[in-house]
Amino acid sequence: MKNWKNNQGISIIELTVGAVISAFFVMAFASFMKMSVKTQAGLNERLDAISSDLAGSALISHDLSASGSSFDLLSVPSDTNSNFYDYTPEQNCSNCERSMTLTPTNGKSFVMVDDVSRLVVGSLPLNPVPFYDLVTNPTATVSGTLAFNATKFKTTLEGLGGGAFNLTQDNQNLLFYSPVRLRPAGTTTPPKVVAFLGVMKGGAVTASSFTGLAPQRHPATLKPFDTADTFFRSMPNVAGNGAFAFVKAVQPVRYTMDTVRTTRGVTGRLLRAVFNGTTFPQCGGVELTKGCSLIATGLQSVEFFRQTTATPVIQYQFSGDLKQFNAN
pLDDT at 143: 76
Residue-wise pLDDT tens for the chain (328 aa)? Answer: 555 555 555 566 656 656 656 666 656 655 655 555 554 545 455 545 545 555 567 888 889 999 988 998 999 999 999 999 999 887 777 778 999 999 988 999 999 999 988 767 778 888 888 888 988 887 777 777 889 999 999 888 888 866 667 888 899 999 999 888 899 998 888 888 999 999 998 888 999 999 999 999 999 999 999 899 999 988 887 655 566 789 999 999 999 999 887 666 778 889 999 999 999 999 887 778 888 988 888 888 999 999 999 889 999 988 754 433 333 3
Element (H, E) at 120: none
Helix (H, G, I), strand (E, B) or coil at 45: helix
pLDDT of 218 reads 93
At 129, give phi and psi (nearest 5°): -55, -45
pLDDT score, position 54? 53
Residue 158: predicted pLDDT: 86
pLDDT at residue 298, rounded to an integer? 81
3-state helix, strand, coil in the chain (%, to 5): 25, 30, 45
pLDDT of residue 149: 92
Number of other residues whose CB lies within 10 A of the CB of residue 149: 15
pLDDT given at position 209: 93
Question: Apex CA 99: angle with CA 97 and CA 104, to 5°?
Answer: 170
Q: Report the pLDDT value the prediction gives residue 212, as an integer from 0 to 100.
A: 94
Q: What is the pLDDT of residue 35?
A: 57
- Pair 100, 67: CB distance under 8 Å: no
Q: What stretches of the chain show up as alpha helix (H) in DSSP?
A: 12-65, 150-158, 228-233
What is the model's pTM?
0.77
Q: So what's the pLDDT on residue 13?
A: 66
